[in-house]
A and B are shown apart, each in its own frame.
Chain A
Amino acid sequence: GEDVEQSLFLSVREGDSSVINCTYTDSSSTYLYWYKQEPGAGLQLLTYIFSNMDMKQDQRLTVLLNKKDKHLSLRIADTQTGDSAIYFCAESGNSGYALNFGKGTSLLVTP
């Protein structure tokens, strides 16, 4: 399948902004997603962006999409300890609605 790459680990201090980056290879992706996974739990859809957009903001979350470079980022403003989790980037590819996932970025927020 197509590759989705993201950094494996990020540590930030509480109150700072977090930026998680992702690159993908399938230019036919219609939607790109960010999911949050807490230990032992399923995935929580945080936000998604349509491929013809370059930015989407939702409260503390800002998604930036550079379609030319196939680069997606998730910015979390005023990061809190409750934001500590694994964040997955995913793209819809050309297989319908099933997604290709990155390996996840483990975000650790320290007091």
Chain B
Amino acid sequence: GAVVSQHPSWVICKSGTSVKIECRSLDFQATTMFWYRQFPKQSLMLMATSNEGSKATYEQGVEKDKFLINHASLTLSTLTVTSAHPEDSSFYICSVTIGQGGEKLFFGSGTQLSVL
């Protein structure tokens, strides 16, 4: 069964509005979750590492004020795209690690964001 639940699967919003994407780990606790972004026909790019109870670590070039990450519990991380613009339209995917060495990464089903 699914290890990671991501919601919503797709969202269409108007330019200037904010969108929240949820990532839940099912049946286990995840102290660390990752957020990726994928443009059409391109690879996934890591946006940020979400740490439970502390601030997220953002990759270079990712605006922390625009992509707000909250990891308030061991099973839930949220990514909020604030003041969305058409160039933010993309496929966003979260992942969590399990395994003693963190060797297994499981991904959510992704969220397709379209900003009009």
- Chain A minimum-CB-distance residue to B46: A98
Given known A-B contacts A41-B110, A98-B49, A88 and B97 have beta carbons under 8 A apart: no
Contact residues, B87-112 vs A (CB, 8 A):
93, 95, 97, 101-110, 112
| A-B pair number, CB within 8 angstroms | 55
Q: Within B1-46, which residues are at the interface with A (CB < 8 Å)?
A: 4, 6, 32, 34, 41-46
Closest residue of chain B to A50 (Cβ to Cβ) is: B103
**B43 x A102 contact (CB < 8 A):** yes
A19 to B: closest C-beta gap in Å:
20
Within 8 A of B (CB), among A15-51: 30-31, 33, 35, 40-45, 48, 50
**Residues of chain B contacted by A31 (CB below 8 angstroms):** 103
SS class of chain B's interface: helix, strand, loop or mixed? strand
Nearest CB in chain A: distance from B12 CB, A: 14
Residue interface bits A83-105, CB-to-B below 8 A is 1, else 0: 00000100010001111111110
The answer to whether residues A40 and B49 also contact, given A45-B104, A48-B104 and a CB cut-off of 8 A, is: no
* Residue of A whose beta carbon sits closest to that of B96: A97
Say whether A101 contacts B44, CB under 8 Å: yes
**Docked CA distance A43–B113 (Å):** 17
Q: Is the CB of B46 within 8 A of A48?
A: no
Query: B106 — which chain A residues lie within 8 A by C-beta?
Result: 45
Within the complex, what minimum Cβ distance (angstroms) separates A25 from chain B?
Answer: 15
Q: Which of B32, B97, B103 has the most CB of A within 10 A?
A: B103
Of A33, A100, A103, which one neighbours B42 at CB under 8 angstroms?
A103
Q: State the 5 A-B residue pairs at the shortest beta-carbon distance, nearest first.
A: A43-B107, A42-B109, A101-B43, A42-B107, A42-B110
Additional A-B contact list (12), CB under 8 Å, known A4-B43, A31-B103, A48-B103: A41-B110, A42-B6, A42-B93, A42-B109, A43-B107, A48-B104, A50-B103, A88-B44, A97-B97, A101-B44, A103-B42, A104-B41
A-B contact pairs, 17 of them (CB 8 A): A30-B101, A35-B107, A40-B112, A42-B4, A42-B6, A42-B93, A42-B108, A42-B109, A42-B110, A43-B93, A45-B104, A88-B43, A97-B105, A99-B46, A101-B45, A103-B41, A104-B41
